[in-house]
Amino acid sequence: WTRFCQFRALTHGVQVIRGKYDRSSDPGAITHFQALSAALSATVGLGNIGGVAMAISLGGPGAVFWMWVVGFFGMALKTTEVTLAMLYRNTDNPDNPHGGTMWVISKALAEHSPGLGQLGKLIGGLFCLTLLVMVVTGGNMFQAWNVGNITHSYFGVPTVVTGMALTVVVGLVIIGGIRRIGAV
């Protein structure tokens, strides 16, 4: 279905990064490059940094091969995910678009199977709940804990101070909405 987009879209991605498609008259809150950066910032994280080191230490050199295989299919999956997010996002307020997996689930099910619209909303809501649990426990908390421990180990900064500094910096970025996230 994706027709090997992980190869076909490489040159297109470079053109997007260079700003070939950016026009000031285009609708939207952020540029193509800012959208790409925001998508990558939500993708690259704990698994791509700590997970790779853990896989190599436990699995040896063979783990690198399997990471390449998974990465090959993951590129097509990510392209599909972003494409669906663009197709089913809510742009009622162009300066503050809303989107994500929950919108894709609820809107796509309602569009393709009108009787399943309520089921799509239920599944989207369950996704949001499980995402909140993951963000609080496994995602951001674990990353902040790692930053705090490393900062304490190397620079002697108390972990509580690092945690408060991270809270302020991340809060300043996120509370500004997609425009500030894109600018950062």
The confidence score (pLDDT) of residue 69 equals: 92
pTM of the model: 0.66
Q: CA nearest 18: which of 30, 38, 33?
A: 33
* Mean pLDDT value across residues 141-169: 90
**Average pLDDT for the chain:** 84
Q: Are 56 and 64 in contact (CB under 8 A)?
A: yes
φ, ψ dihedrals at 24, nearest 5°: -65, -20
The confidence score (pLDDT) of residue 13 equals: 74
The confidence score (pLDDT) of residue 159 equals: 94
| Higher per-residue confidence, 158 vs 34 | 158
21-54 pLDDT, tens digit per residue, is 777 777 677 777 887 787 777 777 766 777 788 8
111-149 pLDDT, tens digit per residue, is 888 888 899 899 999 999 998 888 777 777 777 888 899
* Mean pLDDT value across residues 98-104: 85
Tell me how far the alpha carbon of residue 150 is from its chain's centroid.
Answer: 24
| List of long-range contacts for 46-54, beta carbons under 8 Å, 24+ apart | 46/139, 46/142, 46/143, 50/146
Q: Give the whole-angstrom CA distance, residue 68 versus residue 48.
A: 12
| Higher per-residue confidence, 160 vs 61 | 160
**Residue whose token pair is 């669906």:** 84
47-84 pLDDT, tens digit per residue, is 677 778 888 888 888 999 999 999 889 888 888 888 88
- Residue 82 identity (one-letter amino acid): V
The confidence score (pLDDT) of residue 40 equals: 77
The confidence score (pLDDT) of residue 46 equals: 65
The confidence score (pLDDT) of residue 173 equals: 87
Bridge partners (DSSP) listed for residue 90: 98
Collapse the DSSP code of 90 into the 3-class scheme (helix H, G, I; strand E, B; otherwise coil) and give the result. Answer: strand
Q: Are 74 and 43 in contact (CB under 8 A)?
A: no
pLDDT surpassing 90 at residue 156: yes
Neighbours of 110 (CB within 10 A): 17
Q: Are 183 and 34 in contact (CB under 8 A)?
A: yes
